[in-house]
Structure 1
Amino acid sequence: MSEVIRLHPADNVVTAARPQQAGATIDGVSTRMMIPSGHKIATAAIATGAPIRKYGQIIGYASVDIAPGDHVHVQNCAFAATDHDYDFGTDLRPLPPATGDTFMGYRRANGGVGTRNYVAIVTSVNCSATAARRIADAFGPEELAAYPNVDGVVAFVHGTGCGMAGDGDGFEALQRVMWGYARHPNHAAVLMVGLGCEMNQIDWLLDAWGLKQGPTFQAMNIQDVAGLRRTVEMGVEKVRAMLPVANAARREPCPTGDLTVALQCGGSDAWSGITANPALGHACDLLVAQGGTGVLAETPEIYGAEHLLTRRVADRATGDKLVGLIEWWEDYTARNRGSMDNNPSPGNKKGGLTTILEKSLGAAAKGGTTPLTGVYKYAERVTAKGFTFMDSPGYDPASVTGQIAGGCNLVCFTTGRGSAFGSKPAPTIKVATNQRLFDRMPEDMDVNAGDILDGRATVESKGHEIYKMFLRVASGEVTKSEAQGLGDYEFVPWQIGAVM
């Protein structure tokens, strides 16, 4: 392993591959202090106000004069808002199509293809959360053992649905989430449970989206059924009737083009943009070549890198949508007296990330190199094939909830600091950015991208490994997060707007 990593010839910083003591000679300069692993070292003098470059891009500006060999971090690297002249469609690199790869999935009557086979209980409002949980809890391992093709009965509960405007961004986003989970291909059957008087009415959802009740789709309200106890009893009866139908589903060969993968990262460190994220990007390229779909999200975490994505848009309208999202978020944070640089988190900074610009440049690498074919609202149904983008906050549970509602039937989640995240109904594959994390959390990490740093793997070989895991997990292989039972509490619809 090299002592440092230089990512672009134009960079004026390098990344320490291992801790460096004061006085070490690095890239032709002498370190002036101890530099932690993953942190940046100046390789040239950087005057106050001058740009600091990594990945060949600006990640911040010197807040004081920086000498060669200095530790470059929060004490001397300042954030400033981006101001890009956007180019559109100037970096299009389509891949030759590939065919032949398959996985064993569940074909649904509505044309979707599932990677899991759950019975879901979806709530319209916080007031029906207890009922939904009690219904799901009624189905323990002994009863479910009689239905080996059913992955479980899961309740999707949340803390909103009332005390909100009956129209606008927040209401529409919640309705899209509910519709997306009600029609998700990883659900064999769905029971929707509401209270009855809430703002987010189930009947409105059924009318708006044309959902019809039948053997595998039912809805009820606590007030109509006559109370919590009776609702739970009736809900258990309904789910018990759904289980044999759900159990009749069988896996069959499906083309890889039927996979839609959520591209996520959380608990990032400096290695995220060097190992795991580019490797996931290569896996996304392999998926796209097979006709599949990758969905990048977390709009605040592409801030400062969005100009690289606009160069990849398949058409100008798609590029304008992406820029419009960036402008919306700038206004959203400003009116809430926040900053786009509220991220990185303390853990991200401890891992070597300094500004949101630096974090975004690494995060965007998850999207690979192919053209950007579509940009979607939060939880909007993703219909385009190829590499796409969905608006969402950087908060992982809320972001993944939107991606799953949009149709993602797999999630791949990179992490450098460590994560205990998992999701239902779409299983999460977790990729460690460094060897130390992989060794420290072996029960949580599915893939080790840390071996890229010491030359035992390349970005391309690791990307191929991740892609092959897509196919195995889609076919039923259990991920580390599934084995630990994660996913019951990670359903978090993005709550936009005033709580009233």
Structure 2
Amino acid sequence: MAKDYVQIDPRDNIIVAINDLPQGMSIDLDEGTTVLRENVKSKHKFASQDFNVGDEIYMYGVLIGKAVVSIKKGEAITTQNVVHASANYGTPTKKIAWSPPDISRFKQRSFLGYPRADGSYGTANYWLVIPLTFCENRNIDILEAALLEKLGYQTKQDYSVDTDALISKYKKGATAREILDTPVVLSREETSKNRLFPNVDGVKFLRHDGGCGGTREDAQVLCNLLAGYISNPNVAGATVLSLGCQNAQIEMLQKAIATINPNGAKPVSYLEQQQSKSERDFIAEAVKLTFVGLMEANKIQREPAPLSQITLGLECGGSDGFSGISANPALGYASDLLTALGGSPVLAEFPELNGVEQNLIDRCQNEKDAKKFASLMKAYSESAIAVGSGFESNPSPGNIKDGLITDAMKSAGAAKKGGTSPVVEVLDYAEKITKPGLNLLCTPGNDVESTTGLAGSGCNIIVFTTGLGTPTGNPVAPVLKLSSNTKLYQKMNDIIDMNAGTVITGEDTIESMGEKILDHIIQVASGLVEAKSVVKGHNDFIPWKRGISL
């Protein structure tokens, strides 16, 4: 790219500033020269024509807003002069032809995965400990304390803070100012990996605040999600703790597992506390059953697997004005490569597809999925409106500050993660991914609720693009962070894996960056490189209760 500004699509009537642009600067466009009427910050946009009140504003070739005041050519586009607007959508309007990318570099490649009984392959090998209700979270804490360190799994990098220096000052009568001026040494501690079970990547504890209270539907959705986690290719088996009287019953979970994965039985131990002799006996039995499960899981070893066995979650969070022109389209190209190789990329976050619905509807291979997608989007929108909100409330303060001022603008860039390939299936929350090719999965826009849903539907690896930085991870699916700009990567490279800012500076094209992303995915899927979210122990897990979460 390596320009001061860019018009993303010929139909666009606003221009993106790549660098800070000064007032009075001349901008040469196909339509002629535009002189900036004010300073325009990097990642923000300016008008390439005059707008009257109500005029439509386009970016990425789609409607993203309308002018609420007159805007002169060369003025900055802001929340004061533009409001969200998006195009109407309906049944398929045209058949979109797809030309697959060149996959010759990857055709003979494979990854080293863990084989499962249903024919899938995991990029990791985990044992889960799951509470069916929040009442069991304390017992989960005890199990974690009893197992992780003794089995050699507390090996993550962490920071030791010299709190003793502050205590010493306080005891000597130091003031608040003196405490704040006291140097506190942050030392990084690393313990060596000495796992008792070397073929098991970890024991993960899925704490949550559900399972009882709420509605019966909440309990069913939770059980469907937990069944998806147990069925995920990255999971060898599970220990499930039940209190006994909660809405989310053991039988409900068992039926969900049988429905989701009838041909891939995994060892699952179920314990009910109200049927135990005592809490002590209950916990002791859970520890022993988990230990036996780990013995079996340790027998599984990595073996070569085709790239078609990668189910790739596509996620973005903390997005900025560069996300839609660097990280997201580069991930979209990697998504297209994976589709051409027989894999399954999965595009989620339905509130962040507002404004590009018609394009996705036209890409659906069958009318049933097109109708399902339209129905899910309309139901989500109506539910948001019913509580006094709407998709237009999606952009966060951080999004707006860094140039994403309407939901449609944000969505048009976010959808780039899905590349250009046909949509093979549309799935509701917690439904299992079964078809190779691009899938659409209904999740909320909230980062952790969405990544939780992606893993619950079967994703065995996730790439998460970000322009502002986020430490989000997942208990079972490695989450790779991809920055949209080099400044962020340099500042937060302890939690970010890859940098797509090289697209902005011109060192990479969308295509070359997409190939680098797929290369890195293969390395992580093979266990040769650890995702930084895994290194840091970011195990974020928030089930969605189907309420409004934008």
Instruction: Answer whether TM exceeds 0.5 for this pair.
Output: yes
Using the alignment, how far apart are the partners of 2:300 and 2:448 within structure 1? 29
Q: Which moved more, 1:265-274 or 1:16-25?
A: 16-25
Aligned residue in 1 for 2:291: 240
Using the alignment, how far apart are the partners of 2:424 and 2:546 within structure 1? 26
Check whether the contact 1:88–1:313 (CA below 8 A) recurs between aligned residues.
no
Q: Structure 1: 5+ residue runs without aligned partners?
A: none
SS at match of 1:139: helix
Q: 1:178 aligns with which of 226, 241, 249?
A: 226
Residue 206, structure 1, aligned to residue 258, structure 2: no
Identity of aligned residues (%): 35
Aligned residue in 1 for 2:213: 163
Aligned residue in 1 for 2:452: 401
**1:326: how far off?**
1.0
Q: Which moved more, 1:477-486 or 1:386-395?
A: 477-486
Residue 151, structure 1, aligned to residue 201, structure 2: yes
Task: Give the counterpart letter for 1:130 in structure 2.
Answer: R
SS at match of 1:9: coil
**Cα offsets for 1:290-321 (capped at 9, x unmatched):** 11000100110001111111111111111111
Residue 137, structure 1, aligned to residue 185, structure 2: no
Using the alignment, how far apart are the partners of 1:395 and 1:215 within structure 2? 30
Check whether the contact 1:89–1:316 (CA below 8 A) recurs between aligned residues.
no
Task: Give the counterpart letter for 1:127 in structure 2.
Answer: C
**1:407: how far off?**
0.6
SS at match of 2:43: coil
Aligned residue in 1 for 2:398: 347
SS at match of 1:412: strand
Alpha carbons of structure 1 residues 316 and 61: separation in structure 2 relative to 1, 3 Å: same
Aligned residue in 1 for 2:37: 32
Count of matched residue positions in the alignment of Structure 1 and Structure 2 = 494
**1:228: how far off?**
3.7
Check whether the contact 2:51–2:72 (CA below 8 A) recurs between aligned residues.
yes
Aligned residue in 1 for 2:241: 193
Give RMSD over aligned pairs. 1.9
Alignment map for 1:395-434 (pairs within 5 Å): 395-434=446-485
Alpha carbons of structure 1 residues 202 and 33: separation in structure 2 relative to 1, 3 Å: same
Check whether the contact 1:452–1:459 (CA below 8 A) recurs between aligned residues.
yes
Aligned residue in 1 for 2:58: 53
Check whether the contact 1:120–1:190 (CA below 8 A) recurs between aligned residues.
yes
Check whether the contact 1:415–1:432 (CA below 8 A) recurs between aligned residues.
yes
**Cα offsets for 1:398-432 (capped at 9, x unmatched):** 11111111110000000001111111211011100
**1:74: how far off?**
0.6
Question: Normalization by structure 1: what TM-score?
Answer: 0.95
Check whether the contact 2:228–2:257 (CA below 8 A) recurs between aligned residues.
no
Check whether the contact 2:223–2:256 (CA below 8 A) recurs between aligned residues.
no
Using the alignment, how far apart are the partners of 1:87 and 1:342 within structure 2? 27
Check whether the contact 2:220–2:248 (CA below 8 A) recurs between aligned residues.
no
**1:208: how far off?**
4.8
Task: Give the counterpart letter for 2:51 in structure 1.
Answer: I
Check whether the contact 1:374–1:387 (CA below 8 A) recurs between aligned residues.
yes
Check whether the contact 1:89–1:310 (CA below 8 A) recurs between aligned residues.
no
Aligned residue in 2 for 1:483: 535
Aligned residue in 1 for 2:19: 18
SS at match of 1:358: helix
Check whether the contact 1:296–1:367 (CA below 8 A) recurs between aligned residues.
yes
Aligned residue in 1 for 2:410: 359
Using the alignment, how far apart are the partners of 1:454 and 1:68 within structure 2? 27
**1:25: how far off?**
2.0
Using the alignment, how far apart are the partners of 1:4 and 1:234 within structure 2? 63
Aligned residue in 1 for 2:179: none
SS at match of 2:364: coil
Check whether the contact 2:315–2:451 (CA below 8 A) recurs between aligned residues.
yes
Alignment map for 1:86-485 (pairs within 5 Å): 86-88=91-93, 90-93=95-98, 95=100, 99-144=107-152, 145-167=195-217, 170-210=218-258, 216-476=267-527, 477-485=529-537
Using the alignment, how far apart are the partners of 1:299 and 1:416 within structure 2? 20
Check whether the contact 1:89–1:313 (CA below 8 A) recurs between aligned residues.
no
Alpha carbons of structure 1 residues 209 and 141: separation in structure 2 relative to 1, 3 Å: closer
Check whether the contact 2:89–2:357 (CA below 8 A) recurs between aligned residues.
no
**1:140: how far off?**
3.0
Q: Which moved more, 1:3-12 or 1:212-221?
A: 212-221
**1:335: how far off?**
1.6
Using the alignment, how far apart are the partners of 1:22 and 1:176 within structure 2? 55
Q: Structure 2: 5+ residue runs without aligned partners?
A: 153-194
Q: Which runs of 4+ in 1 moved over 4 A?
A: 211-215
**Cα offsets for 1:183-234 (capped at 9, x unmatched):** 2221112101121111111122214543999993101122222454332222
Q: Which moved more, 1:239-248 or 1:419-428?
A: 239-248
Task: Give the counterpart letter for 2:18 in structure 1.
Answer: A
**1:100: how far off?**
2.5
Task: Give the counterpart letter for 1:179 in structure 2.
Answer: A
**1:85: how far off?**
4.7
Using the alignment, how far apart are the partners of 2:415 and 2:524 within structure 1? 24
Aligned residue in 1 for 2:70: 65
